[in-house]
Amino acid sequence: MSELGTEIEINATPERVWQILTDTEKFPEWNPFIQRLKGTLVVGETLEVFLGESPPNGMTFRPTVLQVTPNRALRWLGKLFFGGIFDGEHIFEIEPLGDKRVRFVQREKFSGIAVRFFNFDSTRRGFKAMNRALKARAEQDT
């Protein structure tokens, strides 16, 4: 198993960050990493997620929602073809740091037989770009 993680501090309330993170219809307006997310953020539901700038330079996958804890955490599990080849559990966490300040953590746990062949550099860049964009959007009205 391999894990990739990034974090950023945001001058906003957990509620503000959560509202932006879960307003998936507006992702194309601000999110450089997850350009499109269709589906309902309910445990057990399947989402359709498009990563990247535009076809054919990105990829679509269909993860299953594992956790939805308002103002705190969102997790889903995606699999390439079927489980065990290349699975990714994507985790978003919002950690309160005080009055109108949070730490936003974005990480992914990768597992499966193909993980050792994957280069995670572009994924790390995508995480960081999304984190910066989320920070900018959350802080623009505070």
Alpha carbons within 13 A on the beta-carbon side of 53: 3
141 pLDDT band (50/70/90 cuts)?
Answer: low
Structure confidence at residue 2 as a pLDDT band (50, 70, 90): confident
Alpha-carbon gap, residue 49 to 46, rounded angstroms: 10
Helix, strand, or coil here: 102? strand
Alpha-helical segments (H) within 23-120: 27-30
Q: Which domain, by its residues, includes 117? A: 2-139
Whether the pLDDT of residue 40 is over 90: the answer is yes
CATH number, residue 10: 3.30.530.20
Q: What's the rounded Cα separation, in Å, for the pair 15 and 91?
A: 17
Instruction: Count CA atoms closer than 13 A to 19's CA, side-chain side.
Output: 8
Q: What is the pLDDT of residues 53-86, one digit of tens each?
A: 655 667 788 999 999 999 999 999 988 766 677 7
- C-alpha torsion sign, points 8, 11, 13, 17: negative
Alpha carbons 4 and 63: distance in angstroms, whole number: 18
Maximum alpha-carbon separation in the chain: 45
Predicted pLDDT at 81: 65
Whole-angstrom CA distances from 125 to 21, 84, 118, 129 are 18, 25, 15, 6
Q: How many domains does the chain have?
A: 1
